[in-house]
Amino acid sequence: MMLAIGSVVALLAMQTPVGRETAEANAPDDSDTETSRPDPQFAVNRDGPSPALEPLRGLPIPPSGPLDLSDVATTGSERNRLRLRLPAGFGACELTAEAPPENGHAVVWKPRLGERFTRGRLIEVPAGEQTWELSTDDGRRQYFYGVEVATHLHCDGTLHWRNTAHGGDTPWLVDVGRLLGHRPDPSTPADRFFERTRFFNSRGEPLRPMRRDARLDVAPGDWVRELGESTLADYMTSDGNIRFWGRVKRIRWVELSGQPIERRWHDRLESYE
């Protein structure tokens, strides 16, 4: 999705602190005591609670306050691996790459979800920032040689993180169309959608969405790869519901307002020697 920027852009006025969302969100409750023990009714009742709790580890905390984007620029061309560091939530905008396809796969920008964890160890990154990386659309290749890349960042307005409480009789289900005021495009890459739309349990942990084809007899695999290789259609039902590995207590999502933001970069990645 795309962005515009003059020299300094004030962005993302947040209504509540993030991470451990509020005192209410911090307080654990009995509803978040899911275990890895399968519910025998789970395979039959797809609307029932999940059999296990699966948080998303390593997501960046959405930023607060005004942000200066005047120095945002692509990096890594000398290493043949382009990256761009943006405030969390810019998946709500349009970030595109013009470059020749690689082995039949389009070259696109993808968020590096989970980058805060390397070999199971927490790596500190600036709060509220998300690294994006040039990649093939299947997420398998990040190094490119002998190509020129034109990057276009466009956003229909300034980004603001919104939040709302969630509960009801089925807190593990969220009608995202009702939440956003429109049914999102099922072809939206899953990693982009869940980078800009977060679902938290009562402990303030971002929850993992459940694929529609999730199976009891197979433990969930690596969530970064799963989201990178999926679209929203793999999670959202025809009536707009998404199911989560846990009970959703609070939801945060990005909305746009004000003047458009736009910026362009051009990089050349040299041939392999």
Q: How many CB atoms are located within 10 Å of the residue 194 CB? A: 26
Record the tokens describing residue 46, joined without a space: 């797809």
pLDDT tens-digit readout, 199-248:
999 998 889 999 998 876 667 788 888 888 899 999 999 999 999 999 99
Q: At a CB cut-off of 8 Å and minimum separation 6, what does 45 contact?
A: none
pTM: 0.67
Q: Which residue has the higher pLDDT, 192 or 48?
A: 192
H/E run at residue 227: helix 223-228
Find the angle CA(24)-CA(65)-CA(62) to the nearest 5 degrees.
Answer: 55
227-237 b/e with 16+ CB inside 10 Å = b?
Answer: bbebbbebbbe
Residues 251-261 pLDDT 10s: 998 888 888 88
| CA 165 from centroid of its chain's CA atoms | 19
- Of the pLDDT bands very low, low, confident and very high (cuts 50, 70, 90), residue 67 is low
Is 3 in contact with 154 (CB distance < 8 Å)?
yes
